[in-house]
A and B are shown apart, each in its own frame.
Chain A
Amino acid sequence: MSQQPSFIEKYANPTFFMNLSGKIVPWLTALTVALLSLGLYFSMTVPDDYQQMGTVKIMFVHVPMSILAMGAYAMIAISSIGSLVWRHPLADVSAKVMVPIGMAFCFLALVTGSIWGRPMWGTYWVWDARLTSMLILLFLYMGLFAIWQAFEEPSRAGRAAAILALVGSINLPIIKYSVIWWNTLHQTASVLDAAKITKPALDKAYLPAFFTMLIAFSLLLVLLHMKAMRAEILRRRVQARRMRQVEQAGSSATAHMVTN
């Protein structure tokens, strides 16, 4: 008696993902490029802030980078659960390829924040709770990247990386609430806060640019993740074929020796 495939087996398998992502990617690319262009236009045409002057424009890249660096890590943690609990191959692929992407976003959040800090705070860096916890996030990304490079066998690397990712996810609420729990130089959230979402502290002149850039960079993150997952699935297929070829060559050599 043949068993019906489960929902996960039917839809969350590499072949289905390759077919679906192949159709989504061109549309997603067009939408991302259009929104990034619009976001850049909005960003460049906003009026200067009376206190921050032109540096207010840094917010439109710095804040999305910071939010998405944390979002990417959350995605790695969720994928790690899928990888550890269900041993799902796509969860493993998803967690692996998100590491360099999230690392780039985290690096950019730190660099743009540091550059913004120089004219506003008079310094590039302070050991403030928000900045330090963000730096720890970058180190976590670097640790995950090192694990994936260190192991030759993906399943072993996946297990070690998943454990580190889950342990490291404790840093996410620390980053979010660091500006509330501790007295920091970094300001509290102006828009993306439950209490301020209906009445943001940010002037409404900046909201279109901010949200357009946030959505555009979010789509870019999804697009890069999807493309990187496709590359990783293809890499694993190539590796599997190579292994099969080596095994076949080995067995035919053995058969040749036996017959002679």
Chain B
Amino acid sequence: MKGKVIVITSGKGGVGKTTTTANLGTALTMLGRRVVMVDTDIGLRNLDVVMGLENRIVFDIVDVVTGGTKLKQALIKDKRFEGLYLLPAAQTKEKTAVSPHQMKTLCNELKKEFDFVLVDCPAGIEQGFKNAISGADEAIVVAVPEVSSVRDADGIVGLLEAAGLNKNQLIINRIRPRMVKRGDMMDIEDMIDILSVDLLGVVPEDEIVIVSTNKGEPAVMDTSSRAGDAYRRIARRLNGEEVSMLPLNHSEGLMNKFRRMFKMASR
């Protein structure tokens, strides 16, 4: 078995890299694939809390690459999903505790065991970024429809290409159809036009993402969530299926609205 290493990156912080990693990882295992999510944000790890696995951490990525710990010992198995694992980042070490070469070796090792290795990249373009992309076969660039995010995404695409990564796909996150409609937010075409990369998917702004992060349960677990639906579609695309884009007209059905209100109230 030879899997694929995909780095999830964005340049700018706070646009949804970790949320994207958690949701795509979970959704891919729901499709029956074996997935490991690697948090490379050393010093500021978060994938563990987003996944609700923070209490299960014993060893981390630095323990593994510096040779003290066996990879199998450090991997945290998510008991909710068959085939889903997390390799957490170290919280107390420096970014330089891992080198690009070590990261590459680690990714090659993980590729043998898993269909997908999803690498959650830290914000910025320094050492942490260089480490995260060093073992990757392809990249997912996450951007929100704001000038600062699109600008950074453009820079990141340039750096990825310079590093020899040529399959870079875009996820547009937190789009607000209502704002797009009244001309106050860039739409999908605008962003693709500017960045000239392939579109992998579009995720609408959805409060459920915050609710699910609060609980440590990725939004894809909630079948009524629009963001979850969008992530499930993206996962199927990564899995090789052709899936239509999530329609963005925000007029969700009345029944759905009621269902959601009811769900919110019962939480």
Answer yes or no: are A and B bound together in one complex.
no
A→B interface (CB under 8 Å): none
B→A interface (CB under 8 Å): none
